[in-house]
Amino acid sequence: MQSKNLKKMLIVLTNTTRYGQTTDPTGLWLSEATEFALLVQQAGYQVDYVSPQGGFVPLDPRSMKYTDEEIMTVYETADFQQRALMNSLRPAQVVPADYVAIYYAGGHGVMWDFPDDEALQTIAAAIYGHGGYVTSVCHGIAGLLNIRTASGAYLIANHRVTGFTKAEEVLAGKRSVVPFFNQAEVQKRGAIFTKKRAYKTYAVQDERLITGQNPFSAKAVAQLLLQALAEDV
């Protein structure tokens, strides 16, 4: 089991700059990283940032239309700019034993570089294996799809999870662009996909898996995680 003294969390970000083969830009949905990071840091946890390739993390330009003072305050810090957006860690630089939780932030970009990244899957499985939490928000659920337990089973199998829905993809105008739908892929792996009305705040916890439905659910994921960690002590 995990050490109760661990006070670090790992936030996973995308390196993808465009929607597939199109010229349309995408990347990290800013608030999904900043809102989670702010809450857990306020609770006394340190955060590190990792991406599949390490280094530069692009922002989805559409996410900048949905900022507020809190989001901008984090975005403008030298720490976030340097460690999250410019110099994110490579998976090889991460020591899973250092973290009590891993959190996959979303943005459409993750649908291209999260699902098949074996290095990130190994990190998440190790964190879960020592008693830590595996969490995500919105499209970040794509990072959980192919994580397997020590027995070889899908980590999300037989668990309730959520993520960006097909209805939300339609409303976002991305139905014909995305390579898959989260709900369908989750169900193929034996998980139970739960949801609320489009763009309503919603997060669900099932044991040590915590997932949020959409960009407005990052804080809800952080709150469930912090509550669970407090109860573990």
d(CA 203, CA 219): 9
Closest CA to 23 of 61, 63, 65, 72: 61
Give the Cα separation of 62 and 64 in Å (integer): 5
H or E segment to which residue 4 belongs: none
**By C-alpha distance, which of 55, 123, 104 is closest to 84?**
55
Residues (pLDDT < 70) of the chain are: 1-5
* pLDDT per position as a tens digit, 38-69: 999 999 999 999 999 999 999 999 999 999 99
pLDDT score for 5: 62
CA distances from 228 to 10, 59, 74, 206, 231 (A): 17, 30, 25, 11, 5
pLDDT of residue 2: 47
Cα gap 52→14, rounded to integer Å = 7
Of the candidates 87, 69, 70, the residue with the CA atom closest to the CA atom of residue 78? 87
Residue 6 is predicted with a pLDDT of 72
Per-residue pLDDT at 88? 98
- For residue 1, the model assigns a pLDDT of 44
The DSSP H or E segment spanning 111 is helix 110-113
CB 56 within 8 A of CB 86: yes
- CA separation for the pair 70, 219 (Å, rounded): 12
Tell me the per-residue pLDDT of 138-148, one tens digit each, with 9 for 90 and over: 999 999 999 99
Q: What is the pLDDT of residue 130?
A: 95
